[in-house]
Amino acid sequence: MDALKLDGNAIAGLLQEVFAVEMTTALATCRGCGATDAVGATQVFRGAGIVMRCPHCDNALVTIVKDDTRVWLSFSGVRTLQVTV
Protein backbone atom coordinates (compact mmCIF):
# COMPACT_ATOMS: atom_id res chain seq x y z
CA MET A 1 0.00 0.00 0.00
CA ASP A 2 1.48 3.27 -1.09
CA ALA A 3 0.36 5.69 1.56
CA LEU A 4 1.76 8.59 -0.41
CA LYS A 5 -0.24 7.86 -3.52
CA LEU A 6 -2.89 10.49 -4.11
CA ASP A 7 -5.57 10.95 -6.73
CA GLY A 8 -6.35 13.36 -9.53
CA ASN A 9 -7.87 15.85 -7.10
CA ALA A 10 -4.33 16.60 -5.91
CA ILE A 11 -3.38 18.05 -9.28
CA ALA A 12 -6.63 19.91 -9.98
CA GLY A 13 -4.93 23.28 -9.68
CA LEU A 14 -1.99 22.29 -11.84
CA LEU A 15 -4.23 20.97 -14.60
CA GLN A 16 -6.50 23.99 -14.54
CA GLU A 17 -3.42 26.20 -14.69
CA VAL A 18 -2.55 24.55 -18.00
CA PHE A 19 -5.91 23.84 -19.58
CA ALA A 20 -7.99 26.74 -18.27
CA VAL A 21 -10.90 24.36 -17.69
CA GLU A 22 -11.81 22.13 -14.76
CA MET A 23 -10.09 18.83 -15.43
CA THR A 24 -10.85 16.50 -12.52
CA THR A 25 -14.21 15.68 -14.08
CA ALA A 26 -12.60 14.97 -17.47
CA LEU A 27 -12.92 11.30 -18.38
CA ALA A 28 -9.77 9.45 -19.40
CA THR A 29 -9.90 6.16 -21.29
CA CYS A 30 -6.88 4.02 -20.57
CA ARG A 31 -4.91 2.81 -23.55
CA GLY A 32 -3.80 -0.20 -21.54
CA CYS A 33 -7.06 -1.72 -20.30
CA GLY A 34 -9.77 0.42 -21.86
CA ALA A 35 -11.28 1.52 -18.54
CA THR A 36 -12.70 5.03 -18.34
CA ASP A 37 -12.36 7.05 -15.14
CA ALA A 38 -12.71 10.63 -14.05
CA VAL A 39 -9.30 12.27 -13.73
CA GLY A 40 -10.19 12.89 -10.08
CA ALA A 41 -10.39 9.12 -9.59
CA THR A 42 -7.03 8.28 -11.14
CA GLN A 43 -3.96 7.55 -9.07
CA VAL A 44 -1.38 10.31 -8.81
CA PHE A 45 2.24 9.66 -7.96
CA ARG A 46 4.83 12.33 -7.31
CA GLY A 47 8.20 11.33 -8.64
CA ALA A 48 10.66 13.62 -10.35
CA GLY A 49 7.48 14.73 -12.09
CA ILE A 50 3.85 13.76 -11.75
CA VAL A 51 2.51 10.47 -13.03
CA MET A 52 -1.20 9.84 -13.32
CA ARG A 53 -1.98 6.12 -13.46
CA CYS A 54 -5.02 4.05 -14.30
CA PRO A 55 -6.60 2.80 -11.03
CA HIS A 56 -7.40 -0.54 -12.67
CA CYS A 57 -4.18 -1.53 -14.43
CA ASP A 58 -1.49 0.91 -13.18
CA ASN A 59 -0.75 2.04 -16.74
CA ALA A 60 0.84 5.50 -16.81
CA LEU A 61 -1.87 7.66 -18.37
CA VAL A 62 -0.26 11.08 -18.16
CA THR A 63 3.08 12.48 -17.06
CA ILE A 64 3.58 16.11 -16.15
CA VAL A 65 6.90 17.91 -15.81
CA LYS A 66 6.89 21.58 -15.02
CA ASP A 67 9.27 24.46 -14.57
CA ASP A 68 8.42 28.13 -14.10
CA THR A 69 7.45 28.78 -17.68
CA ARG A 70 7.02 25.42 -19.39
CA VAL A 71 4.91 22.35 -18.82
CA TRP A 72 5.60 19.08 -20.59
CA LEU A 73 2.59 16.80 -20.75
CA SER A 74 2.54 13.33 -22.13
CA PHE A 75 -0.81 11.67 -22.68
CA SER A 76 0.65 8.53 -24.24
CA GLY A 77 -1.30 6.26 -21.88
CA VAL A 78 -4.64 7.89 -22.64
CA ARG A 79 -6.60 6.70 -25.61
CA THR A 80 -9.28 9.36 -25.33
CA LEU A 81 -9.87 12.29 -23.03
CA GLN A 82 -13.38 13.71 -22.70
CA VAL A 83 -13.48 17.27 -21.40
CA THR A 84 -16.58 19.39 -20.70
CA VAL A 85 -16.18 22.82 -22.26
Partner 1 sequence: MAGAAVLGRLSWLVAEVVDVVPETARVKTIAFDLPSWPGHQAGQHVDVRLTAEDGYQAQRSYSIASAPGDARLELTVERLNDGEVSPYLTDELRPGDKIELRGPVGGYFVWEPSEGGPLLLIAGGSGIVPLMAIIRVRDAAGSDAVTTLLSSSRGWDDVIYRDELEQLEGDGLTVVHTLTRSQPPSWTGYARRVDGEMLAEVGPSPAERPLVYVCGPTPFVEAVAEALVHLGHAPHRIKTERFGPTGG
Partner 2 sequence: MPPIISRGFRGRRDDAPSDRVPPGQYVTGDFPVLSAGPTPHTPLDQWDFSIIGEVDELRRWTWEEFRALPSEEVTVDIHCVTKWSKLDTAWQGVSLDTLLDGVETAAEYVVQFCDGGYTTNLPLEDVTGGKAWVAFAYDGEPLEPEHGGPARMLVPHLYFWKSAKWVRGLRLESVDEPGFWEVNGYHNYGDPWREQRYWGD
Residues that bind partner 1 (CB under 8 A): 1-10, 12-13, 16-17, 20-22, 24-25, 38-41, 83-85
What would the 3-class secondary structure string for the chain be? Answer: CCCCCEEHHHHHHHHHHHHCCCCCCCEEEECCCCCEEEHHHCEEEECCCEEEECCCCCCEEEEEEECCCCEEEECCCEEEEECCC
Taking the least distance from each CB to partner 2, the nearer of 4 and 20 is 4
Taking the least distance from each CB to partner 1, the nearer of 12 and 73 is 12
Instruction: Pick what 85 binds: partner 2, partner 1, none; C-beta below 5 to 8 Å, kind-dependent.
Output: partner 1
